[in-house]
């Protein structure tokens, strides 16, 4: 009788332990899947400025973060720093202004339902040439280049200290103009290279509905 009760207690303890481990794995995997497959977090030295303090409408990228490496942006002339960027989510385009004149405009892919791109006033905080991409779940590294999920350039303007949102290229040009991302703004590679040349750290970014 005593032996049966001892075995029953062992079985019960094993059941509780298995259930606890299962819940922990499920929670970790669920958080991991929330990371944007095309967001970046620099693995090397960061050059960042704080945003304007306007808080996004919801929390983004609360799970594991993608990682990117790449050459830091070169110094830029004062003339280029005078430009500002306006994102119009309603027509899925980004506009580059100098004073009150539009000097460039490009189509963009925006955040999909449930992962909408945050609106508000921000500043460019981080820039990279040819970012490589590390898969946030598998850890697989995709080398820099036109076929990288991040394309040829990264221009980050929002972060919570762990996850990031910004403009980046994509090898899948057919998704540009659609709500396909987890908050980032996807651009055709030639377009994101052109945008990169207009902005610098601290450039104002206005995201409007």
Residues marked as catalytic:
168, 184
Closest CA to 195 of 101, 107, 79: 107
Q: Which residues pair with 98 in a beta bridge?
A: 83, 101
Tell me how far apart the alpha carbons of residues 41 and 39 are, in angstroms, rounded to a whole number: 7
Token pair for 120: 């508000």
In this structure, are residues 21 and 49 in contact, taking their beta carbons and an 8 Å threshold?
no
User: Tokens 């580059």 correspond to what residue?
Assistant: 96
Which residues lie closer than 8 Å to 152 by C-beta, 6 or more apart?
Answer: 129, 130, 145, 146, 169, 189, 192, 193
């Amino acid at each position: 009788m005593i032996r049966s009760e001892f075995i029953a207690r062992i079985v019960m303890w094993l059941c509780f332990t298995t259930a606890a481990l299962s819940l922990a794995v499920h929670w970790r995997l669920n958080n991991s899947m929330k990371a944007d497959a095309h967001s970046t977090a620099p693995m090397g030295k960061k050059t960042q400025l704080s945003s304007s303090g306007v808080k996004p409408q919801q929390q983004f990228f609360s799970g594991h973060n993608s990682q990117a490496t790449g050459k830091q942006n070169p110094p830029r002339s004062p003339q280029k720093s005078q430009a500002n960027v306006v994102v119009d989510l309603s027509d899925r385009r980004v506009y580059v202004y100098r004073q009150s004149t539009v000097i460039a405009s490009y189509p963009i892919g925006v955040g999909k339902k449930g992962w909408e791109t945050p609106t508000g006033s921000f500043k460019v905080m981080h820039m990279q040439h040819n970012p490589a991409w590390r898969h946030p779940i598998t850890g697989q590294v995709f080398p820099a280049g036109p076929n990288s999920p991040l394309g040829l350039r990264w221009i980050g303007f929002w972060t919570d200290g762990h996850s990031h949102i910004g403009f980046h290229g994509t090898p899948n040009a057919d998704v540009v103009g659609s709500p396909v991302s987890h908050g980032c703004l996807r651009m055709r590679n030639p377009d994101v290279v052109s945008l990169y040349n207009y902005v610098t750290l601290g450039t104002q970014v206005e995201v409007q509905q």
